[in-house]
């Protein structure tokens, strides 16, 4: 199953990954807003989210007053995000695009480019990551920057088959048991996400969605961001639910 197919299938259930998706929207927006203000000041007005999914970060940032443009590989996720934004009366420019073609697709620059929720490690080698970061750089205004959030794979044992529980959720009288199975093959692992729906009778319905990740070190990601042209690249912990890596684009425009 491709990454696109994985998120197309996951999009109706994506909010169930969070114990309280609405609270997560607000909390993550506040945390990102604090980082943006600290590193780029109040001059940030436009944000490009290149892996927006169903809108977890884009919606919260738009609610804080940012002008948000958002794209994602999954058309189904974009349709869900549009519906969520419409329900909240938010104006966000949504579109379907691969992050490796961010500038090719958007053809303009923004104050800050973001890619959250461990989205960049879907790119399975350093060359693909560098291609994406160069596109992010091209999408960034001089003086602006890029912010990504990722899993700390340096703390993950990269071998064998591992089970990762996401939790139990209850929605509309249905219990959803959600867990992941990781199957490592070197630095690449196959992820299978299981969604078990229990309606209260003697049978359950199970859905499984599959994708792949590159268990890339945050240090490697930081080095690749620097190679793409970003300066003052740093890693921050304890500021978001995942490690944050951010870099700035020099005030003087440089060739990409």
List the domain boundaries for the chain.
3-153+216-248, 156-214
**128 CB burial (10 A radius; 0-12, 13-18, 19+):** middle
The confidence score (pLDDT) of residue 171 equals: 94
The confidence score (pLDDT) of residue 42 equals: 86
Q: How far apart are the first and last CA of the chain?
A: 33
Whole-angstrom distance, CA of residue 83 vs CA of residue 134: 31
pTM: 0.95
Is the pLDDT reported for residue 254 higher than 50? no
Q: What is the mean pLDDT of residues 26-31?
A: 97
Sign, CA dihedral 136-256-187-105, equals positive
Is the pLDDT reported for residue 256 higher than 90? no
Is the pLDDT reported for residue 78 higher than 80? yes
The pLDDT tens digits of the residues spanning 121-145 come to 999 999 999 999 999 999 999 999 9
Name the token pair of 108. Answer: 């303009």
The confidence score (pLDDT) of residue 247 equals: 98
The confidence score (pLDDT) of residue 174 equals: 95
Indicate the average pLDDT of the chain.
96
Indicate the CATH number for domain 3-153+216-248: 3.40.50.150
E-only strand ranges, the chain: 46-49, 67-72, 93-96, 110-115, 140-149, 161-171, 174-185, 188-198, 204-214, 231-236, 244-248
The confidence score (pLDDT) of residue 164 equals: 96
Is the pLDDT reported for residue 61 higher than 50? yes
């Amino acid at each position: 199953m491709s990454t696109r197919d994985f998120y197309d299938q996951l999009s109706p259930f994506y909010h169930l990954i969070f114990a309280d998706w609405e609270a997560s929207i607000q909390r993550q927006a506040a945390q990102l807003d604090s980082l943006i203000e600290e590193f780029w000041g109040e001059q940030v007005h436009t944000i490009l989210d290149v892996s927006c999914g169903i809108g977890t970060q884009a919606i919260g940032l738009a609610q804080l007053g940012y002008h948000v443009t958002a794209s994602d590989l999954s058309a189904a996720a974009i349709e869900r995000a549009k519906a969520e934004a419409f329900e909240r009366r938010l104006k966000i420019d949504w579109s379907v695009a691969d992050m490796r073609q961010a500038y090719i697709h958007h053809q303009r620059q923004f104050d800050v480019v973001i890619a959250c929720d461990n989205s960049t490690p879907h790119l399975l080698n350093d060359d693909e990551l560098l291609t994406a970061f160069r596109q992010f750089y091209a999408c960034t205004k001089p003086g602006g920057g890029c912010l990504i959030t990722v899993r700390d794979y340096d703390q993950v044992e990269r071998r064998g088959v591992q089970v990762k529980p996401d939790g139990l959720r209850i929605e509309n009288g249905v219990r959803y048991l959600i867990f992941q199975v990781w199957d490592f093959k070197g630095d690449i692992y196959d992820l299978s996400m299981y969604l078990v729906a229990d309606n209260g009778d003697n049978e359950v319905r199970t859905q499984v969605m599959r994708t792949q990740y590159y268990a890339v070190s945050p240090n490697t990601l930081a080095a690749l961001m620097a190679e793409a042209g970003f300066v003052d690249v740093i890693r921050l912990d304890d500021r978001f639910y995942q490690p944050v890596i951010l870099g700035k684009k020099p005030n003087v425009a440089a060739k990409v």
